[in-house]
Amino acid sequence: EEQLVQSGGGLVQPGGSLTISCAASGFSLSHYWMSWVRQAPGKGLEWLGNIKADGSDKYYVESVRGRFTFSRDNAKNSLFLHMNSLRGEDTAVYFCAREFSTVSFISPWGQGTQVTVSS
């Protein structure tokens, strides 16, 4: 079964940093663009951006550009979301997800990781 399993997240103070990991099983991450999506409490889905299969290209939406960084270790079949300068409005469940191809729909998704930014 193709799966994405997330870890990391938690409670962090405003201005702090946090990293979420996303491990793939049942398929090789190295063949796919990967996306990050978040969902604030009681709100809809916000696509944050994506990273090319070989890590050579990344797209960030404006709300996280310059603060969040996507990286990947294809040898370890893993994806990472590094978050810096966190704000209260970054409080959300964060999902990693696989893109079918270049500029594509998203499936499967990780189970989600809660990030809470609060003092």
Q: Which residues bind another protein (CB under 8 A)?
A: 35, 44-47, 49-50, 59, 61, 95, 97, 100, 103-112
Pair type for strands 92-99 and 58-60: unpaired
Nearer to another protein, 21 or 35 (CB): 35
Least distance between another protein and beta carbon 110 (Å): 7
Nearer to another protein, 110 or 117 (CB): 110
Nearer to another protein, 107 or 118 (CB): 107
Least distance between another protein and beta carbon 89 (Å): 17
Nearer to another protein, 85 or 104 (CB): 104
Least distance between another protein and beta carbon 38 (Å): 11
CA 51/CA 80 separation, integer angstroms: 10
Phi, psi of 107 (to 5 degrees): -175, 135
Least distance between another protein and beta carbon 58 (Å): 10
